[in-house]
Amino acid sequence: MKSCKPCIFCAEIGNLLANYNFDKSKQCIGAMTIEIDFLQKKSTDSSPYDSDKMAAEFIQQFNNQAFSVTQQLVFSFCDKLFGLMVKDIEAMDASILRGETASGKKQKIDIGLMVGNSQVIFEKAESSSLTLVGKAKTKEARQTIINPEWNFEKMGIGGLDKEFSSIFRRAFASRVFPPDIVEQMGCKHVKGIMLFGPPGCGKTLMARQIGKMLNAREPKVVNGPEILNKYVGESEANIRKLFADAEEEQKRLGANSGLHIIIFDELDAICKQRGTGASSTGVHDTVVNQLLSKIDGVEQLNNILVIGMTNRPDLIDDALMRPGRFEVKMEISLPDEKGRVQILTIHTNKMRSFNLLAPDVDIKELAAETKNYSGAELEGLVRAAQSTAMNRHIKATSTVEVDMERAEKLQVTRSDFMGSLNNDIKPAFGTNQEDYSNYIMNGIIKWGDPVTHVLDDGELLIQQTKNSDRTPLVAVLLEGPPHCGKTALAAKIAEDSQFPFIKICSPEKMIGYSEIAKCQAIKKVFDDACKSQLSCVVVDDIERLLDYVPIGPRFSNLVLQALLVLLKRAPPKGRKLLIIGTTSRKDVLQEMEMLDAFSTTIHIPNISTGEQLVDALELLGSFTDKERANIAHQLKGKRVWIGIKKLLVLIEMSLQMDQEYRVTKFLSLLRDEGA
């Protein structure tokens, strides 16, 4: 380090001060604040300078010299020349000079003498690019990051308390602390948050409210497709424009720069995996590269927070997801019952304050009835109930008029909500009763103990799925001959489970699908099931899904491998999944090594005795007592072999005959079927 060399200017100052008598009890420097900047702008750099070492060097060079306020001088440190200006001088406490405890009194002076135990504090000049570290520097004034008018209760986010707390801990805790402490810890702020989850669960709402919560500039909200441009290089330029303000401010203010928030909606539109695009231009790849370099490149920014939102996280390039970029990954999932209470309360608050919500509306009851409803669907439910209530006060005449006398007494009632719940709004990740109601439209005919045992075992599997923490995935295979009622029993077990998510994966919905399309459709059913706390998936007629035929034999290995993976894939932590498969070709699945994918196998037999067949006829109530007695007499002591589904068809055919011929026709049809 270079020392200050005597010059003519210093000699003259020395001569002037030689005749000046200092009162050391009053004019020794206790603390001196000095404004510092590079002497020559061309010699600026971004390297941090240790203010503690700088202060020690300054005291060593200028010990026992006098300084006055507004005095300017040149200081050499680490082979760099700095321009200094004295801003403020405080006299040393006389108690310290006498070796006593400091009195705490501070006195400003215009001129003072530098001594060995003086304190030197450096303050960066305004608009200077100099970076100071250490304790011997002024604490720069900064704005608090949290908006003082922000109120968590008024945010309008329901059911996301845990997620929001986690985001605050990871992304904002370091920004609340003073920059000095963060700097001393060597801590870097989180610069990216990725919010993902099903549509309508509050990703965009949370990002918008984060912007309001922070005392930062207005967030820049960008929809992914808006970035893309048909001209070469324009898409990348659009990315650079988003970060231009943050770059300029960080160069100017350094660590004291304000926070710049950039929100990307539909991030998957521009940040797909690189190398997967079919176009020759590779626009998506260059956009991803540009975004990577801006968030965490060579000249990285520390004053940005980028929030990305998508419901397809599997499409996002892996390089964006590492720490330092989109570091905080938060799933915004379907709200639980407590969250649904909060959401419904938020959307009915205004009605309640104006006495437009009837007393019979119970928010907790509605929350219990709306399993697997997203936040957007709950808002839609409230709107549907409001429209139903308003429709009651519209006069059905030749013109559309509102009955003003009754409209003033308008109230949204429980029946309005229940009507909308049953008819208007259905959850995208919920139970579609129409799917399985067709399979059990004739009810379950308990023609014997085998049927009762299957339903009892099904109840045990339901309880195991609900209550067991060791087996979050339970898979059962119902196998038996064709037409024995496997699908109906599977649908009945699924209905009895009362799980919020029930889906039937059936070959009839995939007619004409290619192998890849069929795999994607099956995977979507299982992926959707993993988004619910409790789910039941019925995989019906597995050999038909596999395109199996005995001639050849031939089957789709692609679909087989997909099913083998999905049947064994455990759901995410805290979620439970019950899988019920049905097949008529257990032997084929055995050869395909598919039986091992199921936890257990339940056999469903055909009706095998005359007594069981007569019991089934009695439960169905299709024949008269006399006719059933005649059929029982004909079948006494004989063995039969027929599925309940086939039996229903034969009965309906027989009932089309005249009454005197019905029994004869029924027995004839049994013989023709080989039963």
Write 510-517 long-range contacts (CB < 8 A, 24+): 510/545, 515/556, 515/558, 515/559, 516/558
Residue 531 has phi, psi (to 5 degrees) of -90, -5
- Expressed in angstroms, the distance from the first to the final Cα of the chain is 107
Longest dimension (CA), the chain: 143
Q: Is 541 a catalytic residue?
A: yes
Q: Is 528 a catalytic residue?
A: no
**Three-state SS sequence of 17-38:** HHCCCCCCCCCEEEEEEEEEEE
For 171, which DSSP code? I
Q: Regarding beta strands 576-583 and 192-196, do their DSSP bridges make them parallel or antiparallel, or are they unpaired?
A: unpaired
* Cα distances (angstroms) measured from residue 38 to each of 13, 35, 96, 404: 24, 11, 35, 76
Q: Regarding beta strands 394-396 and 473-479, do their DSSP bridges make them parallel or antiparallel, or are they unpaired?
A: unpaired
CA–CA gap between residue 385 and residue 389 (Å, rounded)? 6
CA–CA gap between residue 456 and residue 448 (Å, rounded)? 13
- Where would I find the H helices in 132-200? 161-167, 173-176, 179-185
From 220, 523, 645, 665, the catalytic residue: 645
- Where would I find the H helices in 264-374? 283-296, 337-353, 363-369
CA–CA gap between residue 283 and residue 293 (Å, rounded)? 16
> b/e per residue, 489-498, with b = 16+ CB within 10 A?
bbbbbbbebe
Q: Is 251 a catalytic residue?
A: no
* Angle at CA of residue 571, ends 478 and 421, nearest 5°: 80
From 486, 518, 576, 646, the catalytic residue: 486
From 26, 106, 251, 568, the catalytic residue: 568
Q: Is 204 a catalytic residue?
A: no
For 170, which DSSP code? I
Q: Is 105 a catalytic residue?
A: no
Q: Is 345 a catalytic residue?
A: no
From 93, 265, 317, 540, the catalytic residue: 540
Q: Which residues are catalytic?
A: 486-487, 540-541, 568, 645
